[in-house]
């Protein structure tokens, strides 16, 4: 199968593929998703096959209206309504208890809950409307690779395995949505994203966060948390302080293997002491760094010679929490010291 690259003017053709049970990668404000008709179990099965994703890892159901959620969820609590009013369309995925058998177990991973999100991307909202069904949408990457932030990333991983990708250019945020579980007494953040704990607490009061690295013997609340994610071929080292870059580059140079550096422009231009081979700009802030993190990891992955990547860390405030969560996973927790 040749994977088609659809322009944003070809939503009708992409929607027709979805209705046929085919897979279409779609743009969102966070990362590209791998779309299939959430009401068609055969189509959803293909998503796991294309990604090489373990089948116990449930999928997010993408909707274009709150009414669609009401069809599947057992109840829509006041907290849900407040969150939706504030953050949808946007980067907040909400886990709710389901009506019995409302969605196939291939969508929910056999759980009695499901994750819902309304992405902030008009092309994809139009696609969902045109298809007339909600879309499952894990990130459109091969399982274990960095999430895709461009249509090229999607094609790099899935060309020939899916019917098409709807190309709306690079995504703006670059990190996957915040996942919050509202099916429990005290809501808990299972995955940090640009919608921060503080922003959520301003709307619904105190919540908890539980996105520590899950140990091998632990049963994670979000099944996806147990898998190693975002790993490039090279070993990633987190550089926590800008002042450490000189020493880190010196050390990497001594390893006598090609290495890469990912940092903000100020740091890249100030490296006068040591020359390094290859660099990738993270822009000028934690916000631009979040947008470019996965692109940078993929950039170095194209060169199998690169054995070490030094990546700038940021303080764990605001979007820094989500950025560091993803970077820690790609580094296997390795910090340079
Ligand atoms: O930004 C995003 O959320 C992107 C775009 C495409 O929307 N999607 C995405 O999907 O990141 P995915 O499948 O890569 O991540 C979904 C996460 C996984 O960690 C999964 O285990 C968790 O949400 N999840 C889904 N349904 C769940 C449920 N019912 N209970 C607990 N965790 C759930
Ligand atoms: Mg993913």
The residue nearest atom 29 of ligand 1, judged by CA position, is 114
Q: What is the pLDDT of residues 81-120, one digit of tens each?
A: 999 999 999 999 999 999 999 999 999 999 999 999 999 9
CA of 224 to the centre of ligand 1 (A): 7
Q: Does 319 lie in the same domain as 245?
A: yes
**Residues 159 and 256 placed together within one structural domain of the fold:** no
Give SS3 for 176: coil
Q: Atom 33 (ligand 1): residue with closest C-alpha? A: 222
Q: pLDDT tens digit string along 135-164?
A: 999 999 999 899 999 999 999 999 999 999
pLDDT of 226 reads 56
Domain CATH number, residue 78: 3.90.870.10
176 domain-assigned: no
Task: For strands 188-191 and 259-263, give the pairing.
Answer: unpaired
* Cα dihedral across residues 121, 124, 130, 134: positive or negative: negative
R_g of the chain computed on alpha carbons: 20
For atom 17 of ligand 1, the residue with the nearest CA is 224
The widest CA-to-CA distance across the chain, in whole angstroms, is 64
Q: Would the ipTM clear 0.85, i.e. be above it?
A: yes
What residue owns the CA closest to ligand 1's atom 12?
138
The secondary element (H helix, E strand) that includes residue 108 is helix 105-108
Domain that holds residue 295: 235-331
Residue 209 within any structural domain of the chain: no
SS3 85: helix
For ligand 1, is residue 262 a contact (CB within 6 Å)?
no
| Number of independent structural domains in the chain | 2
In this predicted model, what pLDDT tens digit does every residue of 162-186 receive, in sequence order?
A: 999 999 999 999 999 999 999 999 9
- Which pLDDT does position 217 carry in this prediction? 54
Please check if 299 is assigned to a binding site: no
Of 155, 171, 187, the last residue of a domain is 171
Q: Determine whether the annotation assigns residue 143 to a binding site.
A: no
Q: How far apart are CA 282 and CA 305, in angstroms?
A: 22
Give the per-residue pLDDT at 1. Answer: 80
In a domain, 46, yes or no: yes
For residues 156 and 256, state if they share a domain: no
Antiparallel, parallel or unpaired: β 135-136 and 60-62: antiparallel
CATH number of domain containing 309: 3.40.50.11030
Q: Which atom of ligand 1 is nearest to the CA of 223?
A: 21
Distance 248 CA to ligand 2 centre (A): 30
- Tell me the three-class secondary structure of 168-225, residue by residue: CCCCCCCCCCEEEECCCCCCEEEECCCCCHHHHHHHHCCCEECCCCCCCCCCCCCHHH
CA of 309 to the centre of ligand 1 (A): 27
Q: Using CA positions, which residue lies closest to atom 32 of ligand 1? A: 222
Same domain, 50 and 158: yes
For 36, the token pair is: 């299939």
Domain match, 13 and 160 both? yes
For residue 44, give the ligand nearest its CA: 1
- The DSSP secondary-structure symbol of 98 reads B
Encoded tokens for 66: 């709150």
* Domain boundary, last residue among 147, 171, 195: 171
Q: Is 139 annotated as a binding residue?
A: yes
Residue 51 above 70 pLDDT? yes
Same domain, 163 and 39: yes
Tell me how far CA of residue 279 lies from CA of 140, 222, 275, in angstroms.
Answer: 26, 34, 10
């Amino acid at each position: 199968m040749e994977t088609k690259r659809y322009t944003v003017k070809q939503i009708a053709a992409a929607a027709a593929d979805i209705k046929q049970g085919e897979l279409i990668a779609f743009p969102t404000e966070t990362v590209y998703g791998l779309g299939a008709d959430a009401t068609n179990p055969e189509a959803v099965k293909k998503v796991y096959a294309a990604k090489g994703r373990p089948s116990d890892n449930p999928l997010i159901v993408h909707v274009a209206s709150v009414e669609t959620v009401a069809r599947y969820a057992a109840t829509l609590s006041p907290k849900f309504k407040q969150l939706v009013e504030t953050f949808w369309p946007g980067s907040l995925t909400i886990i709710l208890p389901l009506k019995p058998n409302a969605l196939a177990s291939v969508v929910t991973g056999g759980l009695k809950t499901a994750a819902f999100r309304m992405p902030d991307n008009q092309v994809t909202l139009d696609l969902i409307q045109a298809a007339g069904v909600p879309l499952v949408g894990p990130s459109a990457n091969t399982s274990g690779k960095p999430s895709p932030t461009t249509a090229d990333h999607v094609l790099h991983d899935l060309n020939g395995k899916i019917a098409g990708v709807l190309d709306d250019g690079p995504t703006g945020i670059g990190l996957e949505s915040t996942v919050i579980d509202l099916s429990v007494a005290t809501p808990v953040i299972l995955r940090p994203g640009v919608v921060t704990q503080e922003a959520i607490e301003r709307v619904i009061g105190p919540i908890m966060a539980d996105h520590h690295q899950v140990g091998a013997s632990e049963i994670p609340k979000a099944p996806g948390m147990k898998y190693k994610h975002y790993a490039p071929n090279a070993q990633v080292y987190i550089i926590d302080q800008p002042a450490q870059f000189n020493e880190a580059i010196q050390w990497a140079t001594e390893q006598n293997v090609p290495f890469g550096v990912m940092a903000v422009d100020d740091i890249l231009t100030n490296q006068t002491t040591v020359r390094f081979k290859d660099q990738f700009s993270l822009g000028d802030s934690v916000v631009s760094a979040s947008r470019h993190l996965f692109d940078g990891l993929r950039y170095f992955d194209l060169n199998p010679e690169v054995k070490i990547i030094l990546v700038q860390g940021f303080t764990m405030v605001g979007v820094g929490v989500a950025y560091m969560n993803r970077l820690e996973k790609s580094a296997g927790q390795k910090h340079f010291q």
